[in-house]
Amino acid sequence: TCPICNKSDFISIYSLAYKSEEMLTFLKEFYGKQGGIKDFSVFTDVNYELMQCSYCDLIFQKFVPNDNLMFLLYEEFINPEIKKLELTTGERYQLEYFQRISAEIEYLLKMIKQPPVKIKFLDYGMGWGLLCNMAKAFGCDTYGTELSPSRIEYAKANGIKIIKDNDLKDMKFDIINLSDVLEHLTNPMQTIKDLINCLNPNGVLRISVPSERKIKENIKNKENISLYSRELNCVSPLEHINCFSPTTLLYLAKVNNLKIVGFLDFAHHINIEHTINQKIKYLIKKYFLYWHYSKISTNIALQKI
């Protein structure tokens, strides 16, 4: 059944055998830079198959890694030690990255309307804990969850309080961040329900998932696409097992009695370097085209109705 709406009204829109030459070449090259795959026998006679739900519009992979393959994926194919080096040597973690996550934290804090020192912040699936570090720098009481032992140790060394899923039932938070997580989970709807139960009455749940608005069109023209293409990143084999459209997120909000209260597309600041035209365009988008973003955004903030 569909991982979001639990219905069986879906169709197959793309299929490629995991043991095909094209797929094995892709897996070897894609993960070779990140850690590498030592044993290709773990891939059984199933397909990388994408299904599209006719009810909630989710695109999801029919076959997903079991717990053992998932562990290999995130601790071997993607070697945490290699990824950790990117924190200091990679192109991603430059000043602009930290400016962006700082603006995101500020955007979310303004919704709570309390001093940061009174706000409890949870980053669910925190990775290396960089967003937690930023929330902590603002003064929040900050917590994180993570499965990777290497990432947990790194976050602990930076003073982040680590909790497990079992701890959540007895805790409440003002802000729960869920960035680049739902696309990896086999049961995303249950995770959402569990986190909603952890929200304070006026708390904010932030959801951010990869988006490629032309994914269906690209798949229809599959003779022209490659596993390496940027357009297929949102349904990357093994990793991105769910692809959320804005329609899917609106469905998810409705069935859980949530309302969209913001779009993190507007988290960045207007600063003195922007021209008058840039400032006007930004304000028009923010105040006059705001609800237009419910049709295109997959980076949203929600509250309980």
Confidence of residue 273 (pLDDT cuts 50, 70, 90): low
Q: In the chain, pLDDT over 70 holds for what percent of residues?
A: 94
Are the C-beta atoms of residues 23 and 49 closer than 8 Å to each other?
Answer: no
Region of residue 176 (phi > 0: left; psi between -120 and 50: alpha; otherwise: beta): beta
pLDDT computed for residue 270 by the predictor: 60
pLDDT computed for residue 92 by the predictor: 87
pLDDT computed for residue 32 by the predictor: 93
The token pair at 146 is: 């993570």
* Tens digits of residue pLDDT in 210-246: 987 778 777 776 655 677 777 778 999 999 999 999 9
Are the C-beta atoms of residues 27 and 237 closer than 8 Å to each other?
Answer: yes
Please state, rounded to an integer, the average pLDDT across all residues of the chain: 90
- State mean pLDDT over 156-168: 94
Which residue do the tokens 């959402």 mark?
A: 192
* Tens digits of residue pLDDT in 47-91: 999 999 999 999 999 999 999 999 899 989 999 989 899 998 888
pLDDT computed for residue 224 by the predictor: 58
pLDDT computed for residue 266 by the predictor: 78
Confidence of residue 277 (pLDDT cuts 50, 70, 90): confident
C-alpha span between 3 and 74 (Å, rounded): 21
Sheet holding 59-61, edge to edge: 10-17, 47-53, 59-61, 242-243
The token pair at 160 is: 């982040």
pLDDT computed for residue 225 by the predictor: 65
